[in-house]
Amino acid sequence: MDAGTLNQTQTGQTQTGQTQTGHTQTGRRRVVRCMGLGYATKAETRPGKPPTRRRLSLLAALAVLVAIVAALAGAAGGVSAQQARAFSSAQEAIDSGLGAYQAGRREAAIAALTEAAARGEALEKFVAEFYLARIYSQNLGGGADNTKAFVLFRKIADENLNVDPETSQRAPFVAKALIALAGYVRAGIKEIDLPPSATRANDYLHHAAVFFGDKDAQFELARVYLGGDANGLGGGANGDDIRRGLHYLSALTEESYAPAQAALADLFWRGQYVKKDEQRALALATMATEGAPEHERIWIEDTYATLFCASTPPARTAAGQLVARWRKMFPPPLAEPTMGLGARELLPERQCASGEKVALRPSVEAAEPAEPQPVGRGLLKGPGKGPSKGLSSGPGTPGGFHAAGVIEPTAAKE
């Protein structure tokens, strides 16, 4: 065979190999497209070497694996979306969250209320955030998160500071948020470098007490005045502050607000700022135990037990007569709107050191309910629908509460 013939033969073989390679590339692209990947690259083809069944099987298995992973990812996304919408409505999430917390399931409560805050309309979001703040602020089992609570309470206060206290459904919640803020600001929060400020705390309390007419705020403000820190500088209470503090306690006592009755009872018992009167002290403590809310009951009943055990039988009889008289004059305690998250504490049974059982519900002289007495007597002066709306805390406030005889006119001078 001559050289020309040999060259032609080799050339033909080369072209044949190129043709085979072309078939290989074409076949490979078809295989890849049939697997659904939709592309082929030069790196996936080897010229002159057709695909084997083993390689095709591996590629098919890879395609199946990719499909399975995609399906699992889609399923996981569906589960996640289902978890994100665990409730049919924001209101259902709120109800479930509050129920979970009262049952002791704190994390479930937080999850439900968080969903309600994210999904709800304006009012539902507001309520959910308020209760989230309440949960974060409570140190049950060491789970308090003061920073989150403070941020939520401040958001609620900032966004609703001037809502109408008479008509807005948000008003009582905003007042409680201001009270909570006062506590945080007075103590400070190290985690966010919030310095203590008694002045700012008193401003929060004053707005809640005067603008919103919140009884809890009025009571806390009375304690501030009588504690001598009304200006945030300490140094003891002056005459004006004492009159303001007694003013709030007297007005709240007239409204059958149990914490104020118990605090005023303690003042009468010790003779601080008022003339010492053990019978009035026991009578006020008795009425306080009858109307004490659950979250205040322990310390109020402790106060009553202390006074009861230290009183003589004649003093107890005289106190019972005062209670019968005051029941004709004071309205029955009103149930405050439920904003708490439920109390799970057990109340202890109390007894005196002598072994005598403390009568938390002592029998007193029966008295028929009388017509409601007009508001605005004694320390309570000013316009408004009720005592909470017309509180006056100026230096000229009278020192009375005359009709009920709780604080004598001369009490503020002592």
**Per-domain boundaries in the chain:** 22-36+54-84, 87-144, 213-334+350-389
377 pLDDT higher than 70: no
| Both structure tokens of 129 | 């955030």
Task: Give the residue from 207, 137, 136 showing the smallest Cα distance to 165.
Answer: 207
| Both structure tokens of 298 | 């322990």
Residue 78 amino acid letter: G
Q: Cβ distance 352 to 316 under 8 Å? A: no
The DSSP bridge partners found for residue 189 are: 194
Q: pLDDT by residue (tens digit) across 166-187?
A: 999 999 999 999 999 999 999 9
Distance CA 356, CA 313 (A): 12
119 pLDDT higher than 60: yes
Range 127-147 average pLDDT: 88
pLDDT score recorded for residue 337: 54
Distance CA 380, CA 392 (A): 7
More confident residue, 77 or 244: 244
Distance CA 104, CA 77 (A): 30
- CA 9 to chain CA centroid, Å, is 92
Q: pLDDT by residue (tens digit) across 226-265?
A: 986 666 555 567 888 999 999 999 999 999 999 999 999 9
CA dist list (Å): 250 to 134, 171, 221, 324, 396: 29, 24, 13, 18, 15
315 pLDDT higher than 90: yes
Following CA atoms 278, 358, 324, 331 in sequence, which dihedral angle do they give, to the nearest 10 degrees? 100
Residue 281 amino acid letter: A
The DSSP bridge partners found for residue 194 are: 189
Q: Cβ distance 281 to 307 under 8 Å? A: yes
Q: Which residues, 6+ apart, have CB-to-CB distance to 367 below 8 Å?
A: 324, 325, 327, 328
pLDDT score recorded for residue 411: 40
CA dist list (Å): 284 to 202, 334, 385, 410: 27, 17, 25, 19
| 8-state DSSP, 408 | -
pLDDT score recorded for residue 203: 95
Q: Which residues, 6+ apart, have CB-to-CB distance to 339 below 8 Å?
A: 130, 134, 172, 173, 176
Residue 53 host element (H or E): helix 53-84
98 pLDDT higher than 90: yes
Range 198-205 average pLDDT: 94
Q: pLDDT by residue (tens digit) across 339-352?
A: 555 544 444 567 78
- Max CA pair span of the chain: 145
Range 345-360 average pLDDT: 68
| Both structure tokens of 136 | 């974060």
More confident residue, 26 or 298: 298
